Structure 1
């Protein structure tokens, strides 16, 4: 994967206003337009961990789709979850958990904010990832946990 190009310079709290969206969030939660996602909620990915940020992306597939499908699977719930178009209500930055750690640059266009995200609309026709891909990610997460490397920089 490639690193940031000139039009994809690192996104910081100071320059995030140059990105207009649309932005998306995948989750297990049933929400309606106007609802807000706020920091301080328990993580879908680490049991008992309260998150300081809200995470989102400008890519429905794979990022938001994977978030929705993993949240459901990790919760032991049936179904694919929900993907919402969201509006950040404050500044945001590149997600340090993927940017230059798992991938050079930010090819998943993943971001985080300490401010709420407002739900704009639910997407009904988003592309689901194949079950094998979701299972592979679940296995990868389990391996990271077993090795003590399931760290979320939050």
Structure 2
């Protein structure tokens, strides 16, 4: 991971053209090709919070976390979904993970204030082991109890 951080070129709204897809978005929502995801709706991760950004990634595994956490936090027993998306405007590194938790953005996580267009769905993606998912949910619950579940949005 240290090697990636030394070569990471920060992704900003003014400098994102060097990042190429495909890009993915994990969610609990059922969408169709052509649908657009836009900011201004409730967050999948904090009840009562409106999200100012749409989050996406260049890695299916990172999108799997989004899909699994979104469904688990909603109390849904359903399987989440992963969509192939196309950003319709500039984007930047997700500051919630880049250099805060994972220096150099190895999760290839980004966010935008512009729409993402759904271009397809990823079928057959593999989720995390139930005990790994439970560990992540327990960690998020602990952060919430400590008032540290802050999302920079």
Range class of TM-score, shorter chain = over 0.9
Task: Measure the CA separation in 2 of the matches of 1:91 and 1:34.
Answer: 19
Q: Aligned residue for 2:26?
A: 26
**2:140 counterpart of 1:106:** no
Task: Measure the CA separation in 2 of the matches of 1:22 and 1:78.
Answer: 28
For normalisation by structure 1, the TM-score amounts to 0.95
Q: Aligned residue for 1:71?
A: 70
Q: Give the gaps of 5 or more residues in structure 1.
A: none
1:50-69 equivalences in 2 (<5 Å): 50-61=50-61, 63-69=62-68
Task: Measure the CA separation in 1 of the matches of 2:55 and 2:6.
Answer: 22
**2:107 counterpart of 1:91:** no
Shift of 1:80: 2.1
For normalisation by structure 2, the TM-score amounts to 0.96
Shift of 1:5: 4.1
Task: Measure the CA separation in 1 of the matches of 2:147 and 2:140.
Answer: 10
Task: Measure the CA separation in 2 of the matches of 1:137 and 1:152.
Answer: 16
Task: Measure the CA separation in 1 of the matches of 2:35 and 2:72.
Answer: 23
**2:16 counterpart of 1:16:** yes
Residues 44-96 of structure 1: CA deviation (Å, up to 9, x unaligned): 111100000000000001x1001001100001111220000000000000000
Please tell me whether the aligned partners of residues 80 and 128 of structure 1 are also in contact (alpha carbons under 8 angstroms): no
Give 3-state SS (helix, strand or coil) of 2:49's partner. coil
Give 3-state SS (helix, strand or coil) of 1:118's partner. strand
Q: Give the gaps of 5 or more residues in structure 2.
A: none
Q: Aligned residue for 1:4?
A: 5
Please tell me whether the aligned partners of residues 70 and 138 of structure 1 are also in contact (alpha carbons under 8 angstroms): yes
Deviant stretches of 4+, over 6 Å: none
